[in-house]
Amino acid sequence: MNVVQPLIDLQEVDGRIRELEREAKDIPRRKALETARLAGVNAALEIAKNHVEALQKRVKEDEDEAERIREKVRTLKMSQPGIKSNKELQQVLIQIESLEHEAEAAENRALALEEDERPTLEGRVKDAQARVDAEQGGVDGLVSELDQRLAEVKAELDSLAAERQAAAAKVEPRMLLYYERIRTKRWPAVVLLSEDGVCDGCHLVQPPSVAQLVKRNQVLVPCTMCGRVLYRDL
């Protein structure tokens, strides 16, 4: 019987545990990446909406300015009947004409914004919203899958904990102590010694005496370089 076989069996369980633990740690990272990607898409939508709001504000400002100017024009026109001199009347008429030009310019600016810029900006909002809708579904689906997988991984780890305990109980205590110590520094901790006497962990050629001990398969034999437990296939 291979005296190292119980360690090999235990290491096989530990290998599965290590893989699942790595996966369990990686799942939150993957979820965070997806969430961050969706946040970026939402940010693009908010920027597009802000541009539309800024345009609406500019349109409103121009429209309000035009209205204020029109009010001044109405006030001046209402004052005309009370003007007694032609000179003063001419001055009022010139002022009215100037104000009407200013009001028209403000109205034209608002109209240009509405006709030229609004369709483009609203198109960007529509495109950004469509992308958010598409990405949201994909992210939600993936996050749900990751949550389900995480639950499965945790269940597998719980099951493997009992399996590991059973496997460890079959290992001779001194060998188990050595294995537990070396596996925190080297992985895998139990490796094959090739026919040429080479450690499969650090690839160092072992002395003939070490190879002979491994071949006898009666005691735990560590690599002279890395300390991994060596074994030979029978």
Kindly report the number of other CB atoms within 10 A of residue 30's CB atom.
14
- 226 confidence band (pLDDT: 50, 70, 90): very high
Q: Please report, for residues 22, 146, 157, the alpha-carbon distance to residue 29 in angstroms, rounded to integers and kept in the order given.
A: 11, 10, 19
What confidence score (pLDDT) does residue 1 get?
54
CATH architecture type of domain 12-168: Orthogonal Bundle (1.10)
What is the pLDDT of the chain when averaged over all its residues? 92
What confidence score (pLDDT) does residue 209 get?
93
Q: Kindly report whether the global pTM for this prediction surpasses the value 0.75.
A: no
Mean pLDDT across the stretch 172-180?
95
* Per-position b or e across 149-169, b if 16+ CB within 10 A of its CB: ebeebeebbeebeebbeebbe
Task: State percent of the chain over pLDDT 70.
Answer: 99
Task: Cite the residue boundaries of each domain of the chain with CATH code 1.10.287.1490.
Answer: 12-168
Q: Which residues on neighbouring strands pair with residue 198, listed in sequence order?
A: 205
What confidence score (pLDDT) does residue 234 get?
62
Mean pLDDT across the stretch 156-163?
96
pLDDT in tens, 89-99: 899 899 999 99
pLDDT at 230 over 70: yes
Mean pLDDT across the stretch 118-127?
91
Mean pLDDT across the stretch 210-231?
93
Residue linked to tokens 């005691």: 219
In angstroms, rounded to a whole number, what is the distance separating the alpha carbons of residues 209 and 29? 48
